[in-house]
Chains A and B, each alone.
Chain A
Amino acid sequence: MIAATEAALAKIADLVARFGPLMFHQSGGCCDGSAPMCYPRGELKLGARDVHLGDVGGQPFYIGGDQWERWKHTQLTLDLVVGRGAGFSLEAPDGVRFLIRSDVCAVP
């Protein structure tokens, strides 16, 4: 349900070396919403309804249950782009930002 590009995997390896184990949580809403957030593992307290979509570079990737209901017809791929995303995501100070690319599994 979640894959990652070479660029994303390389950044994950770099972040793991600097910060230790990581976690991802897919955001929604305004500003940097719809962007995946990368934190030290355990930084965000997971809720009962968060869904574990799989691991990227050995790091778990989660999304809120309600949001997943509306996303589950798509295959997600974690990518990396140049940018200056806000939020508390770990990669932002490096001038790059994780990004989700999507493919359709079934037309809604």
Chain B
Amino acid sequence: MKYARPNTTGAKLNFEARYGNFIGGEFVAPAKGQYFENLSPVTGRPFTEIPRSTAEDVEKALDAAHGARRAWGKTSAAHRANVLAKIADVMEQNLETLALAETWDNGKPIRESLAADLPLAIDHFRYFAGCIRAEEGSLAELDEHTVAYHLKEPLGVVGQIIPWNFPLLMATWKLAPALAAGNCVVLKPAEQTPASILLWAKLVGHLLPPGVLNIVNGFGIEAGKPLAQSPRIRKVAFTGETTTGRLIMQYASENLIPVTLELGGKSPNIFFGDVLDKDDDFRQKALEGFAMFALNQGEVCTCPSRALVDDKIYGQFLELAVARTKKIVQGDPLDTETMIGAQASNDQLEKILSYIDIGKKEGAKIRTGGERVRLGGGLEDGYYVAPTIFEGNNRMRIFQEEIFGPVVAVTGFDGYDRAIEIANDTLYGLGAGVWTRDTTQAFRAGRAIQAGRVWTNCYHLYPAHAAFGGYKQSGIGRETHKMMLDHYQQTKNLLVSYDPKPMGFF
């Protein structure tokens, strides 16, 4: 089925002509009264206006957050868990609308927003609602009379800067643990995809006390920087790229506050020779795992964008993989049959094309795709790229940089050691995939690859309760797991003596 485009006859979703920032529990206009047009990558045309905020708006949001901080930080874990669970319930009741908003704002196929982005986001809220209920401090009996109590406290007000590839889900990854731990948040969405989270805030904002959650929109340099540099935040969380990651750390160093960073990768997906041993479900699963480079148009930090294939099966595997990739249905993101939609922005499209260009210049061979796709029916100006398979070697730049498009670079390997060597020959270490019928080999490879997550005989699963984060230049911190609570909490140690006698050393 095909959903009607927002703001057309029969549409299940109508965006407002203009949105405000969400500050102190209400939508407010930006201080300078400036807005920018928000484009849908589906059509390349504007559909709403978003605040172009400045430092004044960030300060206003920080005022609201600090106003709410003490009361929210003192609420019981049970209370906060209930609030998070209610947010999840409202999201579930509005799943279709939110999925539609996500697709219109980001360009991803509605099939994916309905089946992955929204259900996952809902589950992450429920997961952290559960985590905070189950969390305990600790105590250590140091000696007969002395006890060290360790109690968790919220940090206070935190800043969060969200990427554009999974706007609601990435916001949830950061918001759910921060709110569960009792923090107040000032959040800046990506300027490419600011609309869905504002729609979300309209639905769930009333469930939180005013000031606990504040959303300030705008550009990095104008709104992101004053937030990241503010002495009024106690932590900053960022997902994005390495240079901005360095800048965020530098700003945080000015205030001596912690950061968590997720900065991407160049994830290897290793196919050992035995995957083709039988023509069975597992073979199909492995081929599906290969084709997942095109999931979310390749705009995933863990996109399996380097496929390493055992020389023993290289020719046959690649032939099957190309055939599988050609079956990926590209089209209108609002059609539930569509598997790959539009890239999120024009500059993203241009960047992907520039990498396809350098791939060709470096002598890599295109097996399928390699060009922009012009779809009809009003989608002519949308940002579509054909799923692309390159063959080359790991020294090429298409093997070394995250293209963030539906582009995979394939190379062969001769033996286990060489597979691991190539897999680790990268600046990054976020995700990886290992495919083999030999569980000993799977375990060895999984431990040898320097990456935060190694999907073993699966790929692109993002469940709550499995830690996600990077080695090497891919970042700092582990999200989507209860351990993320630690990144949003202070530890209070009460060191208590129950000995009535003098200590006797002074």
Which residues of A does B touch, CB under 8 Å?
25-35, 37, 39, 43-45, 64, 66-67, 70-71, 73-74, 81-90, 92-93, 97, 99-104, 107-108
**In the bound complex, do residue A28 and residue B241 qualify as a contact, i.e. CB atoms below 8 Å apart?**
yes
Which B residues are in CB contact (< 8 Å) with A83? 345-348, 350
Q: Which chain B residues (369-415) contact chain A, with CB distance < 8 Å?
A: 393, 395-397, 400-404
Q: Which chain B residues (346-370) contact chain A, with CB distance < 8 Å?
A: 346-348, 350-351, 354-355, 357-358, 361-363
Q: Which of B78-86, B220-228, B435-443, B453-461 contacts A (4 or more CB under 8 A)?
A: B220-228
**In the bound complex, do residue B190 and residue A86 qualify as a contact, i.e. CB atoms below 8 Å apart?**
yes
Q: Is B265 an interface residue (CB 8 A)?
A: yes
9 cross-chain pairs, A with B, having the tightest CB-CB distances, nearest first:
A30-B264, A83-B347, A29-B264, A33-B241, A27-B243, A108-B395, A97-B347, A88-B220, A30-B301
**In the bound complex, do residue B347 and residue A93 qualify as a contact, i.e. CB atoms below 8 Å apart?**
no
Which residue of the partner chain, among B222, B224, B263, contacts A33 with CB atoms under 8 Å?
B263
Which residue of the partner chain, among A28, A30, A87, A102, contacts B358 with CB atoms under 8 Å?
A102
Q: Is B219 an interface residue (CB 8 A)?
A: yes
Which B residues are in CB contact (< 8 Å) with A97? 347, 350
**In the bound complex, do residue A31 and residue B427 qualify as a contact, i.e. CB atoms below 8 Å apart?**
no
**In the bound complex, do residue B397 and residue A88 qualify as a contact, i.e. CB atoms below 8 Å apart?**
no
**In the bound complex, do residue B250 and residue A44 qualify as a contact, i.e. CB atoms below 8 Å apart?**
yes
- Nearest A residue to B430 via CB reads A30
A86–B161 Cα distance when bound, in Å, is: 11
Which A residues are in CB contact (< 8 Å) with B362? 74, 104, 107-108
**Chain B interface residue bracket vs A:** 35 or more
Which A residues are in CB contact (< 8 Å) with B403? 34
Which residue of the partner chain, among A29, A73, A81, A104, contacts B347 with CB atoms under 8 Å?
A81
Which A residues are in CB contact (< 8 Å) with B351? 34-35, 99
**In the bound complex, do residue B346 and residue A101 qualify as a contact, i.e. CB atoms below 8 Å apart?**
no
**In the bound complex, do residue A92 and residue B220 qualify as a contact, i.e. CB atoms below 8 Å apart?**
yes
**In the bound complex, do residue B350 and residue A99 qualify as a contact, i.e. CB atoms below 8 Å apart?**
yes
Q: Is B452 an interface residue (CB 8 A)?
A: no
A100–B219 Cα distance when bound, in Å, is: 21
Q: Is B173 an interface residue (CB 8 A)?
A: no
Q: Is B474 an interface residue (CB 8 A)?
A: yes
Which A residues are in CB contact (< 8 Å) with B428? 28-29
**In the bound complex, do residue A86 and residue B240 qualify as a contact, i.e. CB atoms below 8 Å apart?**
yes
Which B residues are in CB contact (< 8 Å) with A88? 220-221, 224-225, 244, 247
Which A residues are in CB contact (< 8 Å) with B190? 31, 86
Q: Is B39 an interface residue (CB 8 A)?
A: yes
Q: Is B128 an interface residue (CB 8 A)?
A: no
**In the bound complex, do residue B473 and residue A74 qualify as a contact, i.e. CB atoms below 8 Å apart?**
no
A32–B192 Cα distance when bound, in Å, is: 11
A27–B345 Cα distance when bound, in Å, is: 18
A101–B354 Cα distance when bound, in Å, is: 6
Tell me how far the C-beta of B242 lies from the nearest C-beta in chain A, rounded to whole angstroms. Answer: 4
**In the bound complex, do residue A28 and residue B363 qualify as a contact, i.e. CB atoms below 8 Å apart?**
no
